[in-house]
Amino acid sequence: MSEPGRRRAFLLAPMLAAAAASSPESLGLLDKLRGEPDPLETADITVYYGQWEDIEGVKAGAEQNMLADFEHPWIGDFRHVDDIGERTENPPAGGAHYDKWQTCMGTVYDEPIENGHAIHSLEHGAVWVTYNPDQLTDAQVKALASDMEGRHHAMLSPYPGQTSAVIATVWGMQLFTDDPGDPAISAFTDTYAEHELTTPEPGATCDDGITS
């Protein structure tokens, strides 16, 4: 397993354990994953937390003015700015962002959305699923949209030029797949939406944001 894969597996285990302790629904998911192959175990997932392990570690490092020691300094940058500048990750997985979030209540966008608003939604615990419109058929986009609709703290939008057909993003972590029917997309969304270890602002709303 690659180093990102080891980090992801390390991060996933306490997340599922915490989720299981917090709600019967999550416990049912954990039981299901124990009884069936976990699509996340073989998924292509990159974790950017490095030595900080999770969002609480990142916050602690930022409070101690240790941003320069971050492998990915943007992960501890929660500022509101007018210009987010260029990012290495496309779509971005965190960093300074606009002061208004993108509505992310299972919202499906037909056009690309602003990175700065989307990053703010990640700060609120959203999963942002993006797709390269040049790599998907209309039917595949419709299937992704159907799975997204009605979810809390999740949204779907096209992202022309991204490297994979579909990318699912939370703050500090991304899943990459060229299969729009990959069950890991839904599993990633189920697991990480509003999760305490990847949500800089727990309990923040995904409603009443930018809708275009």
From first to last of its 212 residues, the chain has per-residue pLDDT tens of 334 443 454 465 545 454 444 444 444 444 443 455 789 999 999 999 988 889 999 999 888 888 787 889 999 999 999 999 988 899 999 999 999 999 999 999 999 999 999 999 999 999 999 999 999 999 999 999 999 998 999 999 999 999 999 999 999 999 999 999 999 999 999 999 999 999 999 999 999 999 98
What's the topology of domain 3-48+92-192?
Glutaredoxin (3.40.30)
CA angle, 71 as apex, 70 and 74 as ends, to 5°?
65
CB 210 within 8 A of CB 126: no
Cα distances (Å, whole numbers) of residue 65 to 53, 60, 74, 87: 17, 9, 13, 22
- Those residues whose C-beta lies under 8 Å from the C-beta of residue 117, and which sit 6 or more positions away, are 97, 98, 100, 101, 102, 209, 210
Inter-axis angle of helices 24-35 and 183-192, nearest 10: 150
Alpha helical stretches, state H, the chain: 3-22, 24-35, 55-63, 115-123, 138-148, 183-192
CA dist 203 and 208 (Å) reads: 14
